[in-house]
Amino acid sequence: MAATCNKDSGPTTDSTNMRIVLLGTPGAGKSATGNTILGRDVFREETGSGKSVLGKREVEGRTITVIDTPGIYSTTLTKEQLNEEMKRCISLSSPGPNVFLLVIRLERFTQEDRNALSWIQENF
């Protein structure tokens, strides 16, 4: 849940919307994870698209928004392009994400995953 601070009334909770940003390396399963969260096929599971894709679904009166991002350390994007795409991703989740979900493969936590985690910590 997103909590905001209102000068007059103190903290308030937005219980009607959930905005989730999926982060991870290429091929980690971000699209499949987003499809599972939304309960339907919204995201195509193809690597190298280079663009963030937004999917939404209403569940019991709540809007669930999932943003599937390009892979961190993608071979198709420069560092500058990735930074610009992440800015676009944040704007897609306006007023801001509730959750950054790091998606990693179950087999093992690789050096590439460690690098992705470091990148997330530095940029968010």
What is the per-residue pLDDT across 81-112, written as a single tens digit (0 to 9) for each? 878 888 888 888 888 899 999 998 888 788 88
92 vs 13, more confident: 92
Quote the pLDDT of residue 101: 92
Quote the pLDDT of residue 2: 37
Phi then psi dihedrals of residue 108, to 5 deg:
-170, 160
What domains can you pick out in the chain, each with its CATH number? 14-123 (3.40.50.300)
pTM comes to 0.76
Helix (H) or strand (E) segment spanning residue 26? none
